[in-house]
């Protein structure tokens, strides 16, 4: 009677072991880089941050549209800034208004916030827009804007030096990092939402409009992929904000209409 060998050939087992070791090394490097970046972002001075921002901000400055809309957005941002902790008020936060249908907003190194016209078209009150702007200021407070870009800069350099620039390993690590960044980003989004909520309360004395933007998005049949890739689902954000509002005993009152410069979406 012939005994069937159910074990894979030795060469196959060795290949799986080697592959597993390489994957473990890559995951370990990604974890280590993330740990280094998480500590590094808190000691980077503003002048170095501006140098980092110089790698990405010019591309959005080229796309931005100086206009009454951009001026009004910056005036609203200034109102929120007055309620920031004293250390953060020394920064020169500015909004770049980009006429693009993308429903998204970005916080960039160098104290720049990008607001796309697609997002502006989804807002119906000054209060809910201020919640979005406060959320972006929350990213600066948590240094999230630096974490993502530093991971994207440091990881490829680290892998290239260790692996001899093996394209397969770098591509594999990039895919894993993209997934981990999205998950990590969503956790940071919730913290930024809480900061935005607090700024909204400090600015108006209530939090009316805090959930309106996200409620509206959650009822749409299709949502912007760029928004969903880095933000929690709108329904989750609404639930999270409602919990915070109840915990903090915040009240909701009458909303302010959008300034006319924004209502026309110029």
Whole-model pTM: value is 0.76
pLDDT tops 80 at residue 239: yes
| Contact of 189 with 214, CB cutoff 8 Å | no
Q: In what order do the strands lie in the sheet with 94-98?
A: 94-98, 112-116, 105-108
Average pLDDT score over the chain: 81
Domain positions in the chain are: 14-263
* Token pair belonging to 53: 């921002």
Which stretch, 26-40, 54-68, 82-96, 198-212, has highest mean pLDDT?
A: 198-212
Say which residue, 53 or 195, is predicted with more confidence. Answer: 195
Q: What would the mean pLDDT of 230-237 be, rounded to a whole number?
A: 74
Q: What would the mean pLDDT of 242-249 be, rounded to a whole number?
A: 96
Check residue 266 and give its pLDDT.
Answer: 41
Per-residue pLDDT band at 245 (split at 50, 70, 90):
very high
Q: Please return the burial class of 31, using the count of CB atoms within 10 Å of its CB with bins 0-12, 13-18 and 19+.
A: exposed
Q: What would the mean pLDDT of 96-124 be, rounded to a whole number?
A: 92
Say which residue, 163 or 62, is predicted with more confidence. Answer: 62
Per-residue pLDDT band at 184 (split at 50, 70, 90):
very low
> Coil, strand, or helix at residue 115?
strand
| Contact of 134 with 120, CB cutoff 8 Å | no
Check residue 1 and give its pLDDT.
Answer: 52
* Interval 208-226: pLDDT, tens: 999 999 898 887 755 554 5
pLDDT tops 90 at residue 133: yes
* Token pair belonging to 208: 């009316």
Check residue 175 and give its pLDDT.
Answer: 52
Q: Which residues pair with 232 in a beta bridge?
A: none
Q: Alpha-carbon distance 225 to 103, whole Å? A: 9
Lowest mean pLDDT among 131-145, 169-183, 245-259: 169-183
Check residue 143 and give its pLDDT.
Answer: 85
Check residue 230 and give its pLDDT.
Answer: 53
Q: What would the mean pLDDT of 141-167 be, rounded to a whole number?
A: 72
DSSP conformation letters of 220-253: SSS--HHHHHHS--HHHHHHHHHHHHHHHT----
Lowest mean pLDDT among 79-88, 176-185, 220-229, 255-264: 176-185
Q: Please return the burial class of 210, using the count of CB atoms within 10 Å of its CB with bins 0-12, 13-18 and 19+.
A: buried
Per-residue pLDDT band at 100 (split at 50, 70, 90):
very high
| Contact of 214 with 237, CB cutoff 8 Å | yes
| DSSP H/E element including 10 | helix 10-40
pLDDT tops 50 at residue 179: no
Q: Which residues pair with 112 in a beta bridge?
A: 94, 108
Say which residue, 137 or 35, is predicted with more confidence. Answer: 137
| Contact of 230 with 182, CB cutoff 8 Å | yes
């Amino acid at each position: 009677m012939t005994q069937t060998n159910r074990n894979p050939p030795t060469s196959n087992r060795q290949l799986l072991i080697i592959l597993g070791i390489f994957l473990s090394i890559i995951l370990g490097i990604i974890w280590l880089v993330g740990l280094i970046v998480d500590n590094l972002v808190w000691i980077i001075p503003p002048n170095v941050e501006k140098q980092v921002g110089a790698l990405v901000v010019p591309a959005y400055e080229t796309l931005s549209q100086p206009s009454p809309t951009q001026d009004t957005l910056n005036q609203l941002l200034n109102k929120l800034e007055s309620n920031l902790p004293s250390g953060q008020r020394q920064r020169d936060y500015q909004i770049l208004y980009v006429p693009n249908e993308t429903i998204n907003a970005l916080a960039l190194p160098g104290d720049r916030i990008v607001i796309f016209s697609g997002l502006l078209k989804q807002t119906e009150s000054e209060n809910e827009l201020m919640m979005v702007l406060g959320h972006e200021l929350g990213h600066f407070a948590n240094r999230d804007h630096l974490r993502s870009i530093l991971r994207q800069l440091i990881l490829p350099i680290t892998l290239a030096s260790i692996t001899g620039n093996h394209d397969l390993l770098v591509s594999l690590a990039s895919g894993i990092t993209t997934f981990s960044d999205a998950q990590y980003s969503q956790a940071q989004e919730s913290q930024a939402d809480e900061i935005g909520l607090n700024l909204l309360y400090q600015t108006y004395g209530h939090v009316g409009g805090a959930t309106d933007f996200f409620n509206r998005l959650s009822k749409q049949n299709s949502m912007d992929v760029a928004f969903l890739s880095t933000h929690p689902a709108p329904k989750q954000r609404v639930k999270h904000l409602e919990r915070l509002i109840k915990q903090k005993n915040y009240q909701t009152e009458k909303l302010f209409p959008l300034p006319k410069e924004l209502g026309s979406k110029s």
